[in-house]
């Protein structure tokens, strides 16, 4: 079916695919490991050459990094849309006995110096660069594998060893000289994970026991401080050939999610308030929000200063994990709004409940919010589709976060973890939804990174050789409706499109859409009477075309994680949208 002759209709937000896109280009321009610079302590590595350290250090502010020459400039390739991978492992993990088998992990930073590992990573980096990946995010899992042998080679010591820091330095140098077909290297981001002795979710800081080894809070904090300082030192002297730092941004915490209060009085966060029994829960982790709050208050301000001093942007990213039911819950009101009026902004936007309260808590404790508001996003579609869920989630994000936390500022955000389904049709549905949203919204999300190893379920773990970057790019998208007035999609209060709150057999014309294409969809997400809360595709309608939405909806059944029971007395409804030179009319049949 060609894009020129047909309109593709489905039950998702629609975008038209012109055809398969094949990444082609010249081989990467990386040098061999022997050609990379081994610089003295008073030198920096720029591309593949050692140079004297910059004469002045620049603790840059805002959305800036410090170059090899000491200038504050934005990170690479702003404001282009780029896709990339969360890359920390050279192969797929195995799923056995109901869990991921860490003994099958091939996490490469701890063993980068082992025979063949660096060469394999460089080959995989080259393949990603040739596929036009723009960003690599590498997670460092901190812990202590010597006392926890179930992590054979997966963990970076807590704090890291000299060899592991050298490995990280070498990996950053390898990324910096691995070039895409356009001659540019990929941007490298670092993030943190905590297991074993470093697992801050285990224990209870109030009882002075943290992690699987029950370290005191003071000892754990000291180790973490040494950890992030040594990691920053390992990469701050590595620069790309263009003078930009090889590592532009570093996340101290991945997937921040805390309650709005420190004392358990946040009624929207009761699920998180069960306190662990010291280290008697060892070795099973508990999502202790209290420990995470302590971590952020104790360590994040000093980390921000340390990263800034090295010319690297400090950050955290937020847990945007959601359910289909939560995202589509337009009847939601946050219970904390009675005590804190700011939480009224969450009405009808349940998908932001966790993200908002985490950011709100940080501001109330004087902690800086990141320059770019990064989140992960996983929301398996059951009744709706990835396109509908992605559109709704990003609508909620843009409606809630900027006005409360970035007033009067340009708002930038990124999706730094997303699903990478193994099956291509499912993968395209996830990836192209992000790409279409980028085209429609203009500047956001700035980047989209997928996570694939280990995956979200036993069938979702692939080796880097199987990474599909094209599924997440804008290549092949013909009609994402990028130039349409966003007010056509959402009403002033953001809960449902204008003109769709109609009695039976009503007609409407949208005065803003005449003599041209319209972007329309059926939307009952504003319904609060158990009427389904569904959204169809966004469909492009040209004058003279007819688009039918067939809605199978069981009255009295709310949206669930599966189809509602069949009602023999319900025949269904069909809505037709008819385009004409005078506008687009909705005619229920």
CATH of the domain at 399: 3.20.20
CA dist 63 and 249 (Å) reads 10
Q: Does residue 463 sit within a domain?
A: yes
133-151 per-position pLDDT tens digit: 999 999 999 997 666 666 7
Question: How much is the pLDDT for 166?
Answer: 96
Identify the pLDDT of residue 452. Answer: 80
The reply to whether 4 falls in a domain is: no
Both 380 and 461 in one domain: the answer is yes
> For position 145, what pLDDT does the model report?
64
Do 432 and 546 lie in a common domain? Answer: no
Residues 250 and 301 in one domain: yes
Class of residue 338 by CB neighbours under 10 A (exposed 0-12, middle 13-18, buried 19+): exposed
Per the domain annotation, does 252 fall within a domain? yes
The reply to whether 1 falls in a domain is no
Q: In sequence order, which residues have a C-beta less than 8 Å from that of residue 161 and are 6 or more positions away?
A: none
Q: Is the pLDDT of residue 216 over 50?
A: yes
Percent residues over pLDDT 70 in the chain: 64
Provide the pLDDT for residue 12. 31
pTM of the model: 0.77
Task: Tell me the β-bridge partners of 372.
Answer: none
What are the tens digits of pLDDT across the range 16-43?
Answer: 332 222 222 222 333 333 345 666 665 6
pLDDT over 70 at 220, yes or no? yes
The domain boundary, picked from 424, 443, 472, lies at 472
Last residue of a domain, one of 440, 472, 504: 472
- Closest to 253 measured CA to CA, from 342, 316, 326: 316
In a domain, 343, yes or no: yes
Domain containing 75 equals: 33-472
CA separation for the pair 295, 216 (Å, rounded) = 13
Mean pLDDT of 196-205: 86
Asked whether residue 269 falls in the same domain as residue 296, the answer is yes
Q: Is it the case that residue 514 has pLDDT exceeding 80?
A: no
pLDDT at 525: 53
Higher-confidence position of 559 and 342: 342
Same domain, 533 and 400: no
Please tell me the total count of domains within the chain: 2
For residues 111-125, give the mean pLDDT.
Answer: 95
Q: Is residue 7, in this structure, part of any structural domain at all?
A: no
3-state SS track over 251-262: EEEEEECCCCCC
Do 448 and 417 meet the contact criterion of CB atoms below 8 Å apart? no
Q: Do 505 and 462 share a structural domain?
A: no
**pLDDT of the residue at 236:** 95
Same domain, residue pair 453 and 494: no
In a domain, 9, yes or no: no
> Do 466 and 501 belong together in one domain?
no
Please write the tens of the pLDDT for every residue from 355-375: 999 999 999 999 999 999 999
pLDDT of 310-324, one tens digit each?
A: 999 999 999 998 888
pLDDT for res 384: 72
- Return d(Cα 555, Cα 553) in angstroms, integer: 6
Regarding whether 438 and 530 lie in a shared domain, the answer is: no
Residue 18 lies in a domain: no
Is residue 254 located within the same domain as residue 372?
A: yes
CA-to-CA distance for 267 and 339, rounded, in angstroms? 10
**Which of 378, 354, 217, 216 lies closest to 294, judged by CA?**
217
pLDDT at 81: 94
pLDDT given for residue 359 in this prediction: 98
Residue that is last in its domain, among 411, 446, 472: 472
105 with 172, same domain: the answer is: yes
**Least confident interval from 95-104, 432-441, 467-476:** 95-104
Checking if the pLDDT of 427 tops 80, the result is yes
* 71 plus 130 within the same structural domain: yes
Please report the pLDDT score of residue 329 as a whole number: 83
Q: Please state, in angstroms and rounded to a whole number, the distance separating the CA atoms of residues 133 and 473.
A: 10
The pLDDT score that the predictor gives to residue 112 is: 96
Q: Can you give the pLDDT at residue 453? A: 72
The pLDDT score that the predictor gives to residue 498 is 38
Q: Quick one: pLDDT band at residue 47, thresholds 50, 70, 90?
A: low
Q: What is the pLDDT of residues 462-506, one digit of tens each?
A: 778 889 999 999 887 755 433 333 332 333 333 333 333 433 333
Q: What is the predicted pLDDT for the residue at 305?
A: 97
């Amino acid at each position: 079916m060609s894009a020129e002759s047909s309109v593709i209709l489905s039950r998702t937000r629609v975008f038209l695919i012109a055809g398969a896109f094949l990444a082609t280009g010249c081989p990467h321009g990386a040098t061999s490991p022997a050609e990379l610079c081994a610089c003295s302590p008073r030198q920096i590595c720029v591309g593949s050459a050692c140079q004297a350290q910059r004469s002045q250090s620049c603790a840059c502010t805002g959305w800036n990094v410090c170059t090899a020459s000491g200038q504050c400039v934005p990170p690479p390739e702003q404001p282009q849309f780029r896709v990339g991978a969360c890359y920390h492992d050279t192969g797929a993990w195995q799923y056995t006995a109901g869990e991921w088998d860490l003994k099958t992990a091939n996490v490469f930073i701890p063993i980068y110096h082992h025979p063949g590992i660096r060469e394999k990573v460089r080959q995989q980096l080259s393949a990603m660069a040739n596929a036009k990946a723009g960003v690599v995010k590498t997670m460092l899992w901190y812990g202590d594998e010597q006392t926890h042998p179930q992590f054979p080679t997966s963990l970076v010591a807590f704090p890291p060893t000299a060899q592991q820091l050298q490995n990280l330095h070498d990996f950053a140098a390898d990324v910096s000289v691995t070039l895409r077909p356009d001659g540019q290297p990929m941007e490298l981001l670092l993030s943190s994970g905590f297991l074993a002795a470093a697992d801050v979710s285990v224990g209870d800081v109030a009882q002075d026991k943290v992690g699987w080894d029950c370290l005191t809070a003071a000892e754990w904090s000291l180790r973490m401080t040494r950890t992030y300082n040594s990691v920053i030192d390992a990469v701050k002297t590595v620069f790309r050939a263009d003078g930009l730092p090889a590592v532009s941004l570093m996340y101290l915490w991945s997937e921040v999610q805390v309650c709005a209060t420190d004392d358990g009085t946040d009624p929207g966060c009761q699920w998180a308030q069960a306190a662990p029994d010291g280290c008697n829960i060892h070795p099973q982790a508990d999502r202790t929000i209290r420990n995470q709050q302590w971590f952020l208050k104790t360590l994040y301000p000093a980390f921000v200063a340390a990263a800034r001093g090295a010319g690297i942007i400090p950050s955290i990213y937020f847990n945007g994990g959601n359910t289909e039911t939560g995202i589509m819950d337009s009847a939601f009101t946050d219970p904390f709004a009675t005590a804190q009026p700011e939480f009224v902004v969450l009405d009808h936007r349940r998908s932001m409940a966790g993200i908002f309260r985490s950011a709100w808590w940080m501001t109330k404790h004087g902690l800086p919010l990141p320059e770019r508001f990064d989140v992960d996003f996983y929301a398996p579609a059951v009744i709706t589709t990835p396109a509908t869920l992605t559109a709704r989630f990003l609508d909620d994000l843009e409606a809630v976060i900027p006005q409360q936390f970035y007033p009067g500022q340009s708002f930038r955000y990124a999706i730094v973890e997303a699903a990478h389904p193994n099956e291509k049709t499912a993968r395209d549905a996830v990836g192209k939804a992000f790409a279409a949203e980028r085209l429609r919204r203009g500047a956001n999300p700035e980047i989209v990174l997928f996570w694939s190893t280990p995956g979200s379920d036993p069938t979702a773990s692939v080796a880097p050789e199987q990474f599909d970057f094209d599924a997440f790019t804008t290549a092949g998208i013909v009609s994402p409706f990028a130039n349409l007035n966003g007010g056509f999609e959402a009403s002033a209060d953001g809960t449902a499109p204008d003109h769709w709150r109609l009695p039976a057999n009503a007609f409407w014309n949208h005065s803003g859409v005449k003599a041209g294409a319209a972007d329309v969809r059926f939307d009952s997400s504003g319904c609060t009477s158990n009427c389904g809360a569904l959204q169809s595709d966004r469909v492009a309608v040209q004058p003279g075309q007819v688009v039918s939405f067939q809605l199978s909806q069981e009255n009295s059944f709310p949206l669930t994680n599966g189809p509602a029971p069949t009602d023999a007395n319900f025949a269904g409804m069909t809505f037709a949208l008819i385009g004409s030179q005078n506008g687009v009319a909705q005619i229920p049949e």
